[in-house]
Amino acid sequence: IVLKEIVNCQYTACMNPTAGSFIINPRLQRLFMTLAMDFPGQDSLMKIYGTFLQGHLKKFKEDVQDMSTKILQAALALHDKVSSTFRKTAINFHYEFTVRHLANVFQGLLMSTPELFNSTTKWGKLWLHESERVYADRLVTLTDLEAYSKAAVAIAKKYFSVSDVDDYYKKKDPKPLIFCHFARGLADKSYDEVEDYASLYKTLMEALNEYNETNAVMDLVLFEDAMKHVCRISRIVSNPSGHALLVGVGGSGKQSLSRLAAHICGYTTITIVISGSYSMNNFKEDIQKMYKRAGLKGEGILFLFTDSQIVDERMLVYINDLLSSGEIPDLFPQEDKDEIVNAMRSETKSLGLIDTAENCWSVFIQKVKTNLHMVFTASPVGENFRIRSQRFLATVTSTVIDWFQPWPESSLFSVAKKFLDEIDLGEDYLRNAVVEFMPYSFALVNKVSKKFFEVERRYNYTTPKTFLELIKLYKNVLLRKRKQTQDNIDRLENGLNKLHKVQGEVDLLVEAAKVMAVEVEQKVASANVFAEQVGIEKEKVNAENAAAQVEAEKCAEIAKEVSEKQASCERDLAAAEPLVAQAE
């Protein structure tokens, strides 16, 4: 242990009085002079933001410049209304609206250009949109959203000439109130208003097809709510130090829509891969790699991090520092830090700064804050989200929240139609009935789940992921049953085919047998005729044989007589030979 003595050093500290570690040891607090900073007054806010807004509007048309005061008044009026209406509670712990949120509204207004925002009506819609992104997107319930809509409409009518403002907040088929950096196509990054959902869908499908060509295929259903979330996420991360907190139950599409938004912004999406051996050192190394790519190479990075990847609560310490200041203490060892400083010297000089280690490091961190954006996805189910948000305050205060509301029935219908169109359901009436049943059954289960909670005080969660699993289950069961039925049909058809084949062979054999029977009868008749002829001839032969036998017997008797006479002659000859010899 080395004792260090610190001299000529004064401390300035700040803290939030209602969140984070707002209770400190009195022994430490007594060393500080405490100053309470209250929320700025109306005059101060008008002066601060009026300076920014009026400076931005100098190049705009005169009638647009003249409405700067109304914009300021409307923004402050809506901020006061939201702050007083939506109070912070144990459940809605993030309902805390500060100067930061007001600044975010004006940050969005300053993305306008004189060429595209040349009418007071369009400026009124832009203010409505930016206010909705900052305030409404963090509201939890549909009831709160409806209350916000009423307040926004009333203030818009009071300060702006937006005649059709009610059309943007209708419950059924509202007009799109969307501004984004790709409203005029992917190639044009101008911040402008989206004309209609059809053109937005075409642009997003083009981006999705591009993404699928170079990445793992995402089979997304871009219904209206999904398109809105893509626009919101891209709006957040396109700003320097823009970080998003997406809150929604599983299956809402938070990760997929974030990847699509990152692709539209030209960012590389990076996510950590959790394994059994993943440790804090691995997490630290992953962040180091992202910092180097964003700070040294100037590469746009979207760090996609989910609450399910939190294997160690200490990971949130790094995340909290990344979100709040962009600089994580002791992230790099001194050797790596020296390498980064040396690599940044030339760029630091090009900015007109002296290439000291401090300046080089500051330029590096500034590039990281510009190029590295984080999307933190969390589920509101359970207590983890609330506890973590209170312990690591930057996850809420240094991010723009996009609270994913339950999918409306029209969106559920679009999703069901998309996935069920992939299979044959027969007649159109049957297909429509099945598609309509899916969102109906989902809504019915949600209704019963509410009653279940009221009676049993137990939750039964039905999420978009559950709805997708329902469709997947239906498709799997249907395809399996169809396969079983088809197998049975094939087996019966094979049996029938074999029977038909055997029947054909039998018929051929029967016909052949009939022909052969005729031939046999003919041959039998011929054989009978031949047999009769043979019988007649046989009788003749027998008669001739009998006659021949008689003649043979006669010949035998004659031959016998001849033999006897021959023998007698031979005896006489033998007796006469001596006499002949004597006579000679």
Q: Over 23-36, what HEC string results?
A: CCCHHHHCCCCCCC
Q: Which residues pair with 306 in a beta bridge?
A: 377
Residue located via tokens 């009676």: 455
- CA–CA gap between residue 86 and residue 24 (Å, rounded): 29
The pair of structure tokens assigned to 54 is 């009026």
Question: Looking at residue 78, what is its pLDDT?
Answer: 94
The pair of structure tokens assigned to 567 is 């023998």
pLDDT in tens, 527-580: 888 888 888 888 887 888 888 888 888 888 888 888 888 888 878 778 777 776
Question: Residue 36: which residues within 8 A CB-CB, separation 6 or more?
Answer: 17
- CA–CA gap between residue 536 and residue 11 (Å, rounded): 150
- CA–CA gap between residue 391 and residue 21 (Å, rounded): 7
Contact (Cβ atoms closer than 8 angstroms) between residue 233 and residue 252: no
* Pairing of β 179-180 and β 301-306: unpaired
At 459, the amino acid letter reads: Y
How many whole angstroms from its chain centre is CA 278?
25
The pair of structure tokens assigned to 212 is 């699928």
At 369, the amino acid letter reads: K
At 490, the amino acid letter reads: D
Q: Which residues pair with 193 in a beta bridge?
A: 179
Cβ-based burial of 127 (10 A; exposed 0-12, middle 13-18, buried ≥19): buried
pLDDT tens, N- to C-terminus, the chain (584 residues): 788 888 888 888 888 776 556 678 889 888 888 888 877 888 888 898 889 898 999 988 888 888 889 999 999 999 999 999 999 888 888 888 888 899 999 999 999 999 999 888 889 899 999 999 999 999 998 899 999 999 999 999 888 876 678 888 887 788 899 999 999 999 989 999 998 899 999 999 999 999 999 999 998 888 888 999 999 999 999 988 899 999 988 878 899 999 999 999 999 999 998 888 899 999 999 999 999 999 999 999 999 999 999 999 999 999 999 999 899 988 999 999 999 999 999 999 999 999 899 999 999 999 999 999 999 999 888 889 989 988 898 999 899 999 998 888 888 888 888 888 888 888 888 888 988 999 888 888 888 988 888 888 787 777 777 888 888 899 999 999 989 999 999 999 999 999 999 988 898 899 888 888 888 888 888 888 888 888 888 888 788 888 888 888 888 888 888 888 888 887 877 877 777 677 76
Cβ-based burial of 2 (10 A; exposed 0-12, middle 13-18, buried ≥19): exposed
Between vectors from CA 103 to CA 98 and to CA 107, what angle results, nearest 5°? Answer: 155
How far apart, in Å, are the Cα atoms of 74 and each of 82, 210, 240, 503? 12, 41, 26, 90
DSSP state of 477: H
Phi, psi (rounded to 5 degrees) for 276: -65, -25
- CA–CA gap between residue 265 and residue 236 (Å, rounded): 10
What share of residues in the chain are helix, strand, coil (percent, to 5)?
Answer: 65, 5, 30
The pair of structure tokens assigned to 580 is 């002949």
pLDDT in tens, 167-203: 888 877 888 999 999 999 999 899 999 988 999 999 9
Full-model pTM: 0.78
Question: Residue 234: which residues within 8 A CB-CB, separation 6 or more?
Answer: 180, 181, 182, 261, 264, 265
- CA–CA gap between residue 463 and residue 5 (Å, rounded): 58
- CA–CA gap between residue 347 and residue 182 (Å, rounded): 31
